[in-house]
Amino acid sequence: MPENKLNSDTRERILDVAERQFMAHGFEGTSMRMITSMADVNLAAVNYHFGSKESLLCEVFRRRLTWLNHERLRVLDDLEQQAKGAPLKPSQILEAFFGTLMRIGEDESLGGMTFLRLLGRTLTDPAEFIRAFFAKEYAEVLERYKLALFRALPDVPKAEIVWRLHFMLGAMSYAIAGTDILHVITGHGIGDMSGKEEDEQSEAKKLSARLMPFLLGGLRAPLPQFSDSTRPQQVPLAKTARNQPQEKKP
């Protein structure tokens, strides 16, 4: 055969197919034979190139997360340099963290929605090696952004900020994963694969535009009244009120 794929191609094809299959069926629900047959490579190719199924999953993530987390740190660095030591605004921090993520969904070469969905699902996977992998991979970024939020919201107890960072990660993961109860309401499924990538990119944009205000609203919500150290509930709300859905209550 004239094709020369000595140094590549197979590897990338395995990663691409694995990414899609892990997204659609989960790690345990995806077999090596599904991956290798769909990628048109031999069964042994995965073990040859990656060593094991677990390592394959990690590599699927690493090739995307390396860019993502570097970019997140770079954007945060830029913001902090521009601010010249002043605390950043919460909206800037969220935009840097979640906006950077959403850019992946808009760019197929960065993984697209397929990778975003895989990420959303895998973040809650109970398997130990997965949690350990993410812990290592995310440690620096989370620490940096956590500190940035502490500085941005000096009057909010740190524990509260950590909780809300937690909630925001959850809202994002779940929203991204896509296959869930919500479709009971809206009535349309997601389609496991080949989901017409034509407007997947705009789908990411729409999701981002809707998720960001929600996260910001949650992050800056009034604190629970009984806060243990009883910090007065300084409420930094309504700085950027455009059109607020009103409630008939205080």
Which is nearer to DNA, 41 or 116 (by Cβ)?
41
**How many angstroms separate the Cα of 192 from the Cα of each of 115, 117, 126, 178, 196?**
13, 11, 22, 10, 11
C-alpha to C-alpha distance for 72 and 52, rounded to whole angstroms: 29
Site for DNA in 128-187 (CB under 7 A): none
Residues 46-75 that bind DNA (CB under 7 A): 46-49, 52-54
Q: Which residues contact 40 (CB under 8 A, 6 or more apart)?
A: 13
Q: Should residue 42 be labelled a site residue for DNA when binding is judged by CB under 7 A?
A: yes
For the chain, the distance separating the N- and C-terminal CA atoms, rounded to the nearest angstrom, is 74
Q: How far is the CB of 31 from its own copies (least distance, A)?
A: 11
Q: Smallest distance from the beta carbon of 15 to its own copies, in angstroms? A: 12
Nearer to DNA, 52 or 66 (CB): 52
Exposed e or buried b per residue across 218-246, where buried means at least 16 C-beta atoms within 10 angstroms of its C-beta: ebbeebeeeeeeeeeeeeeeeeeeeeeee
> What residue has token string 């993961």?
173
Q: Which does 146 bind (CB under 5 to 8 A by kind): its own copies, DNA, none?
A: its own copies
**Nearer Cβ to its own copies (79/127):** 127
234: contact with DNA by CB under 7 A: no
Judged by the rule CB under 7 A, the positions of this chain that interact with DNA are 1-7, 9-10, 30-34, 41-49, 52-54
